[in-house]
Chains A and B, each alone.
Chain A
Amino acid sequence: MSRKQLDMTLLALAGLISFGLPLLIESPTYLQILILLFFYAYLTTSWNLVGGFAGVLPLGHAVFVGIGAYTSTILALQFNLSPWFGMLVGGMVAALVGVAIGKPTFRMRGAYFALCTIAFSEGVRVMIENIDSLGPIKFNGPRGLLIPLKGESFWNYQFMHKEPYYYIILTMLVLVLALTWFISRSKMGYYLAAGGDEPDAAQALGVDVAKYKLIALGLSSFLTALAGTFYAQLMLYFYPKGILGLDLSFEIAFIALIGGRGMIAGPLIGALVLRPLNEFTRIYLSNQLPGLHLVIFGLILILVMLFQPKGLTLPLTRLYDRLASKITTTGA
């Protein structure tokens, strides 16, 4: 078996398993954990376009999740439009907002950019929490929005079982992974990487670094907002602190840092490690010691940053390379 065949076989197997899992798992709780795992992997992959490839550290991506959720839900509740349509509108609004905040802030480097993104997303959260309604549009302030149950309907993006949600988010994840793979191998990917790595050198060679960063942020915000709509329809309820808050923004960045920033598999590996940990420590430990799961989270982050500062993807890739070369040589 050649190396390429092995890669393809494993990839096909992984695909088959992930599409087949709902047939084996009956408990909706476990299915929900998987759905959220994919949801976070999707969010982090979208984040990776800017935070990984472009080498800046945005820490306010929750604002785009929130824009997606609020836009599609308000359009559905108050204007009777399908959330599928609202999802696209939300994506476009998020892309516009992303470009609008990227334009002035990308000139800042390092921590200053990160601080700006935090400030912006927190500003939006506080605003939404204090607005009950704006003209005909109801935000409901800190109470958030509740989507009334209308029964199984594709048009309303509502399903009585978890499986459809599972397949929707899995498809979204596969598509966004394919997109980042494609971008990382395109000219744009190289320009982004060059601008993130050595902005001066890239600029001195004539690369319009700011332009590519803006395109990346626009795309990233668009994709992130799509997940906001998904979350709203999955939970049928959301409130500003949950969907616009820093916890969500930070968790996205954590997953990326632990998995490996700027690597295509990074967000997936990060989510595979952190999400189950998060869920199970919360289920089993939060009664004894509330907040313990956050301590464990922090500890893992410290350990990974100490021993594998580029994330877990790199050592795992090396391990796989070694195993694969063994298999392919003994096989031949």
Chain B
Amino acid sequence: MPLLSVENIDVFYGDVQIIHGLSLIVKEGEVVSIVGGNGAGKSTLLRTISGLLQPRSGTIHFKGEAIHKMAPERIVERGIVHVPEGRKLFSLMSVADNLHMGAYTPKAHKLRGESLRKVYDFLPRLSERQKQTAMTLSGGEQQMVAIGRGLMALPVILMLDEPSLGLAPIMAKSIFDLLRRIADTGVTVLLVEQDVGHSLRLSDRAYVLEHGKVALEGKAEELIDNKYIKSAYLGM
């Protein structure tokens, strides 16, 4: 049984349909990428899985349980953690407070001391800056806080929305390295990216989204060599 399975969902903003009959699965321990251009529905898909939006039809199951009608806070409790696009830090709070905000659910709250130590071990830079307010950090550091905040919620599956957005290439690379290390600890990762090259190299499998539909899917290593991907997304 897949960890997460999205079946045939339709998602609307008002009258505008963004996602058309989309299905995908994520297995435990996998790193899965969702790639595609602007407006393909990638962020909408993540927002729907985390409960910020609800599909008009279709189902979403997590560990066999239907979650598509649940409130976001119930979904987080089950271990689906969404690191939103553009970092969205609480700008006037310190780094440590931002991280603590991640440990909102009762279970995460109980284990917050231990989680915080793990996050600082993972991201020593944050430990140095724990007293600084979030808005004084560089873009890459802010993204680290956003990811660290997600880890504080004890994710079974961590969903990241364009973590490399607006970062210098070297910083983007270190974020992808970080995701690799997170995946190696056994956290399942669902990654939405426009940086197709980097994310495919990191992933086990990938879905290519176009106009709210799955255009292509398959093993990441095979997609890298796919002619269409090369011309449309890698500029080769």
Contacts and interface: CB of A to CB of B under 8 A. Distances in A.
B234 interface: no
Given A197-B92, A198-B89, A198-B90, A204 B71 contact: no
Given A200-B84, A201-B84, A206 B90 contact: no
A201 B153 contact: no
A134 interface: no
A207 interface: yes
Contact of B93 (A193, A200, A203): A193
Nearest to A200: B84
A202 interface: yes
Given A202-B101, A205-B102, A193 B73 contact: no
A194 B92 CA distance: 9
B89 A206 contact: no
Contacts of B75: 206
A208 interface: yes
B105 interface: yes
Contacts of B149: 205
Given A190-B97, A194-B101, A201-B84, A206 B76 contact: yes
B82 interface: yes
Interface in B46-105: 47, 50, 52, 71-73, 75-77, 81-84, 88-93, 97, 100-102, 104-105
Q: Interface size bucket, B side? A: 20 to 34
Given A190-B97, A190-B101, A194-B101, A204 B50 contact: yes
Contact of A194 (B47, B76, B83, B90): B90
Interface residues of A, number: 15
Nearest to B152: A205
Contact of A205 (B47, B91, B104): B104
A205 B77 CA distance: 9
A202 B78 CA distance: 16
Contact of A200 (B52, B92, B101, B105): B52
Contacts of A190: 93, 97, 100-101
Nearest to B88: A201
Interface string A126-166: 00000000000000000000000000000000000000000
Contacts of B77: 206
Interface in A190-238: 190-191, 193-194, 197-198, 200-208
A208 B92 CA distance: 20
Interface in A277-317: none
Contacts of A200: 47, 52, 84, 88
B84 A204 contact: yes
Centre residue among A194, A201, A202, A204 by max chain B CB count within 10 A: A204
Centre residue among A198, A202, A206 by max chain B CB count within 10 A: A206
Interface in A241-284: none
Interface in B122-158: 146, 149-150, 153
A205 B76 contact: yes
Contacts of B83: 204
A29 B132 CA distance: 48
Contacts of B150: 205
A193 B150 CA distance: 18
A9 B48 CA distance: 54
Contacts of A193: 90, 92-93
Given A190-B93, A193-B92, A200-B52, A207 B101 contact: yes
Centre residue among A190, A193, A197, A203 by max chain B CB count within 10 A: A203
B29 to A, nearest CB: 23
Nearest to B77: A206
B73 A208 contact: yes
B101 A204 contact: no
Interface string A62-91: 000000000000000000000000000000
Centre residue among B47, B84, B91, B102 by max chain A CB count within 10 A: B84
Given A190-B97, A204-B83, 12 more contacts: A191-B104, A193-B90, A198-B84, A200-B47, A201-B90, A203-B52, A204-B50, A204-B76, A204-B82, A205-B104, A205-B150, A207-B73
